[in-house]
A and B are shown apart, each in its own frame.
Chain A
Amino acid sequence: MKNNALKINPSDNVIIALQPLKKGDMVILESERIFDAVEDIQAGHKIALKNIAAGEKIYRYGEPIIQATQAINRGEWVHIHNTRPILGDVTVK
């Protein structure tokens, strides 16, 4: 099966959509169907690989990049609407 998502680092809790995904599309990671997309997700955007609690850090490249501002369910889109930069990290506004 053709992958349409990529996990960059084994310890990541998000995966990256390699193609635009529609709600209900099978998400295929490492040639295996892992779940169906629960909403539309653009190519290059992040998808929660597991349930993430509010305040929990999001890992990509094996590093914390942002933190959840609300509970995010497995399969949901992860972006600036439900996360924020990690307090204490340097951020250019």
Chain B
Amino acid sequence: MEFKGYRRENGGYGIRNHVLVMCSVNCASGVVQAINRAIPEIVPVINNYGCGSAGNDAAVMLRTLVGIANNPNVAAVLIIGLGCEGLGAHRLANSIKGKPVECLVIQEDGGSATTTKKGIEITRHFLSLTRAQKRVPAPITELVVGLECGGSDAFSGITANPAVGATTDLFVKAGATTLLSETTEMIGTAHILKRRAVTPELGEQIEQLVNNQEKKVRLALGEWAGMVIAPGNIDGGLSSITEKSLGCIEKGGTTPINEIVGYAHRPTKHGLVIMDTPGYDIDSMAGFAAGGTQVILFTTGRGTPAGFPAVPVIKVCSNTRTFRSMPGDMDVNAGTIIDENRSIGQVGQEIYELTMRVVNGELTCSEKNLSIPFNYLKEGPTF
């Protein structure tokens, strides 16, 4: 099995050839936006922090931003810094390997207007480099597929998630890596996921991960922890937290779990891997992108337009009503399982075929709409 991708110097193959313009701190975001207005083809990454973070948050921030810049879908990177920020624009730029990287700092490069002008020149040069690059055959083992759900409804666990699970099994069988995530939505299934681990040691780690997340939820939400299974879920037909969470982990299909990786870390194994991410879609997708994910399968019932910078996101809708009410935001209608007697397997195959077309260049709804919100995990206070 092969796909056509852009070969990167440090290994890996991108399914897109994007020029990324990222600010190292939000204070510098105006320049990123100004460059984006002048050159719409660039992919802007508006980093909302970059200063005033400490400890684990500072480590997650650097790892996530570097990881996204290192994503194989990114051909070249321009970092825009302010100059006095905690993260350090040059430190960020120097951590990016294997592709052209430039760094401008507003306090050193003549203010925002001059920095914008210089930035436009640099990105024009980067774009001319990317236009000369061609797709080449790549083994499917180089493909990482992220699995996400957001804006779920009562049908997400009946149509869209099982269909994506069937797709996942096809990708794992072909030799790709798939990332199951959103640890909060695994609560109540630790004993089941444990059984699916490839080794007993990994099973223990999975159980611990999910149980720790449950403790965190209880501590943070107190009496609201029950919202993890809300009255609306019960009205929708769900009888236990285990049933609800199984509906989420259905996206992971049926193959053994080969590894757990932390937030924004790269998987080292093929097949099904768990990444520890929060349930918030945008933060979770940032973890995927930083872990080298080239494409994301995203199930939704209520409907969301959210994609992600530099990573194509395929929306799989659980029901025909939302599919029709948000035209141009939804890529696949898994509601056909309800309305057209299609099987979970048939829709899974359809998603697989669409994903392969997207991998080879077809644009998703969120790419056409330029709906690319950006945010990442932050747990502590801002100082």
> Bound complex: CA of A44 vs CA of B247, how far in Å?
12
Whether A8 pairs with B234 at a CB distance below 8 angstroms is no
Among residues of A, the one whose C-beta sits closest to the C-beta of B154 is A44
CB distance from A37 to the nearest CB of B (A): 15
- Total interface residues on B, CB under 8 Å, equals 34
Partner of A44, one of B189, B214, B237: B237
Tell me if A43 and B154 are in contact (CB < 8 A). Answer: yes
In residues 144-162 of chain B, which contact A (Cβ within 8 Å)? Answer: 154-155, 158, 162
Known interface pairs A6-B337, A63-B246, A92-B226. Does A78 touch B218 (Cβ–Cβ under 8 Å)? no
Contact at B246–A92, with CB atoms within 8 Å?
A: no
Interfacial chain A residues near B236, Cβ < 8 Å: 44
The answer to the question of B217 belonging to the interface, with a C-beta cut-off of 8 Å to chain A, is yes
With an 8 A cutoff between CB atoms, is B92 at the interface? no
**Contacting B188 at CB < 8 Å: which of A44, A61, A92?**
A92
In the bound complex, do residue A46 and residue B237 qualify as a contact, i.e. CB atoms below 8 Å apart?
Answer: yes
**Chain A residues with CB below 8 A from B243, complex form:** 60, 65-66
Q: Evaluate contact between A61 and B247: CB separation under 8 angstroms.
A: yes
- Structural contact, B237 and A16, CB atoms closer than 8 A: yes
- Number of A residues whose C-beta is below 8 Å from B? 33
Residues of B within 8 Å of A16, CB to CB, are 158, 237
A66 to B237, CA, bound (A): 13
The answer to whether B191 and A89 have CB atoms under 8 Å apart is yes
Rounded to whole angstroms, the CA-CA distance of A17 and B155 in the bound complex is 10
Which residues of B, 222-240, contact A by the 8 Å Cβ criterion?
Answer: 225-226, 228-229, 234, 236-237, 239-240
Return B343 CB to nearest CB of chain A, in Å.
8
- Does A73 touch B at the CB level, under 8 Å? no
A15 to chain B, nearest CB (A): 10
Q: Is B306 an interface residue (CB 8 A)?
A: no
* Contact assessment for A65 and B246 in the assembled complex, using a CB-CB cutoff below 8 Å: yes
Q: Which residue of B lies closest to A28 (CB)?
A: B341
User: Are A92 and B237 within 8 A (Cβ)?
Assistant: no
B205 touches A (CB below 8 Å): no
CB 8 Å contact bits of A65-93 with B (1 = contact, 0 = none)? 11000000000001110010110111111
B156: nearest residue on chain A (CB-CB)?
Answer: A44
8 A-B pairs with least C-beta separation: A45-B237, A44-B154, A44-B237, A65-B243, A85-B240, A18-B338, A61-B246, A66-B239
Residue numbers of B with Cβ under 8 A of A are: 154-155, 158, 162, 187-192, 210-211, 214, 217-218, 225-226, 228-229, 234, 236-237, 239-243, 246-247, 250, 337-338, 341, 344
Footprint of B on A, CB under 8 Å?
2-3, 6, 8, 16-19, 31, 42-46, 58, 60-61, 63-66, 78-80, 83, 85-86, 88-93
